[in-house]
Amino acid sequence: MRILEVNKYHYPRGGADKYYLNITSSLKEAGHDVANFSMSHPSNLECQFSKYFPKRVSYNEDLGFINKLRIIGRVLYSFPVKRKFKKLVKDFKPEIIHIHNIYHHLSPSILTVAKKNKIPVVMHLHDYKLICPNHTLFVNGEVCERCRNYKYINCTKNKCLKNSFWGSLLATIEMWFHHRVLKIYEKNVDLFIAPSQFMKDISIKFGQKEKQIRVIHNPYSSDLVNEEIESKMGDYLLFFGRLSEEKGLYTLINALSATKERLIIVGQGPEYQGLQKRVDDLNVKVDFVGLKKGNELIELISNSKAVIIPSIWYENMPLSLLEAMNLEKVVIASKIGGLPELIENGRTGFLANPNDFRDLARVINSLNNYNLEEMGRLAKERVLELSPEKNTEEVLKTFKEILNY
């Protein structure tokens, strides 16, 4: 099978990018011909198809007038990207195209190339951008569904994109142009893959067609597997991930004040100083250890008492959940988004009410009443159903059904 994998970054910047790179490798190992299309970037991994990659655009630099115009073009409909993509499609001749995150840096203009060449497109939904202008369904510290029924103007009213009026206005125009004028995703994508049942359900709630969405749960990452590191029962709780508002870390720190537990926080992000101040104000036992990767992270997870995911947004199917369960760790997670789909409360982990520090403290204080080692083994059994190999099998099965193989 000739497969074209598409994503805006060709390096492991975030979870979606890691998945795109991993599925590329897995498909090649399975004997398929795979090409890649992405944006040029100094951090990109080596790729034989890089000559087709369009020029990089950045939203994090001081921009002149010309660059601002280029960005608007990338967001709405990029003709230069479309020409590059058209050339790759002509040369590689894919049988199917697998799209990941293309918003803003590539633009959906490439979808019309696929349609014109009668090539089926499968799109992986790694976030909520298909239905939400700021891609999180979260604004001003709370879950938000104001843009249901195509009421995208709420994004501008609430300055949902980085609290910027102009950025939010552009995101509003983008959604209106793509979904109400061009209907570019509706007309040009054959099937959407949702990594959780929750994402499928809420996408349908926002107007997507049920028959157009299939659930294939994310796999755990093969990067966080080391059989030589033994899972042990430690004396600390662990959070690892981005230190941002939607992750619910203030709720977690507040909960610690009603427990005697110690917490280690792994990661970086914009809320570091605010979280450090909250820790100092409450005088709770929290160690910030910064970003950790590879064996260092595996050891921290394996030696923890439990991993906590206290999210206050519609967390989809985070790698932190899958990786902790794969390392035989009990996870305490918020009862929100896709998190409850893998956690059977009191058996393979625990669920707490989101943004409720008292309920989270109650769950933490109950840990000593359970056999956490046995629960960790059950969690491992559950997540083994979501191995990278099985995920690749499910994706390939989907491709074959579409192509009538």
In the chain, domain spans: 2-126+190-219+388-403, 223-385
Query: What 8-state DSSP symbol labels residue 218?
Result: P
**In a 3-state reduction of DSSP, which class is residue 290?**
strand
- Counting Cα atoms < 13 Å in the Cβ hemisphere of 100 gives 24
The token pair at 119 is 């090539």
Q: Is the pLDDT of residue 36 over 60?
A: yes
Assess whether the region 2-126+190-219+388-403 and the region 223-385 belong to the same CATH fold.
Answer: yes
> How much is the pLDDT for 104?
87
> How much is the pLDDT for 61?
55
Query: What 8-state DSSP symbol labels residue 55?
Result: P
Contact residues for 31 (Cβ-Cβ < 8 A; gap 6+)? none
CATH superfamily, region 2-126+190-219+388-403: Glycogen Phosphorylase B; (3.40.50.2000)
Q: Higher model confidence: residue 366 or residue 74?
A: 366
> How much is the pLDDT for 64?
57
Residue 215: CB atoms within 10 Å: 18
CATH superfamily, region 223-385: Glycogen Phosphorylase B; (3.40.50.2000)
> How much is the pLDDT for 66?
59
Which stretch of 118-127, 202-211, 221-230, 256-265 has the lowest confidence by average pLDDT? 221-230
CB 301 within 8 A of CB 265: no
> How much is the pLDDT for 182?
96
pLDDT cut 90: percent of the chain above it: 88
> How much is the pLDDT for 60?
64
* pLDDT-derived band at 15, boundaries 50, 70, 90: confident
Residue length, the chain? Answer: 405
Give residue-wise pLDDT tens across range 271-305.
Answer: 999 999 999 999 999 999 999 988 999 999 999 99
Give residue-wise pLDDT tens across range 242-261.
Answer: 999 999 999 999 999 999 99
